[in-house]
Amino acid sequence: DAKTTQPTSMDCAEGRAANLPCNHSTISGNEYVYWYRQIHSQGPQYIIHGLKNNETNEMASLIITEDRKSSTLILPHATLRDTAVYYCIALSNNQGGKLIFGQGTELSVKP
């Protein structure tokens, strides 16, 4: 699976959009981009995933560049409860759900 690179930490003001970048320059054509987050002492929570097109759900939007070498997770109106570690993971459809976690981005939403 392709390696992903994320900033170690980010801050965001409450109510503003949080834009979390992820680089995956070696991603292959059959690898999806998945985003999970982990709030302290809990299991990871699924946020969103995509292959080529931008995706949006009730939690977030995922913007994938045309060359698929990077993506951005957008939390449109961050709240204090969005403070967590966010993981961007590339996963191919023949891996059966075997997610390999990097270090992620620690997002701190501040009042």
Partner 1 sequence: GAVVSQHPSRVICKSGTSVKIECRSLDFQATTMFWYRQFPKQSLMLMATSNEGSKATYEQGVEKDKFLINHASLTLSTLTVTSAHPEDSSFYICSASGGHWNTIYFGEGSWLTVV
Q: How far is the CB of 89 from partner 1 (least distance, A)?
A: 10
Among 28, 46, 69, 80, binds partner 1 (CB under 8 A): 46
The reply on whether position 39 binds partner 1 by CB under 8 A is no
The site that binds partner 1 (CB under 8 A) totals a number of residues, namely 23
Contact criterion met (CB below 8 Å) for 20 and 49: no
DSSP 19-44: EEEEE-TT--TTEEEEEEEE-TTS--
Task: For residues 7 and 5, give the distance between their C-alpha atoms in angstroms, rounded to a whole number.
Answer: 7
* Residues in a beta bridge with 5: 23
Kindly identify the residues of this chain, within the stretch 70-109, that bind partner 1 according to CB under 8 A: 85, 87, 93, 96-104
DSSP class of 81: G
**What is the Cα gyration radius of the chain?**
13
Instruction: Please report how close the Cβ of residue 74 comes to partner 1 at its closest, in angstroms.
Output: 19
Residue number with CB closer to partner 1 (97 or 111): 97
Alpha carbon 53 to chain centroid distance?
15
Select from 10-18, 29-37, 61-69, 76-84 the region that touches partner 1 (CB under 8 A).
Answer: 29-37
Binding site for partner 1 (CB under 8 A): 32, 34, 36, 38, 41-46, 49, 85, 87, 93, 96-104
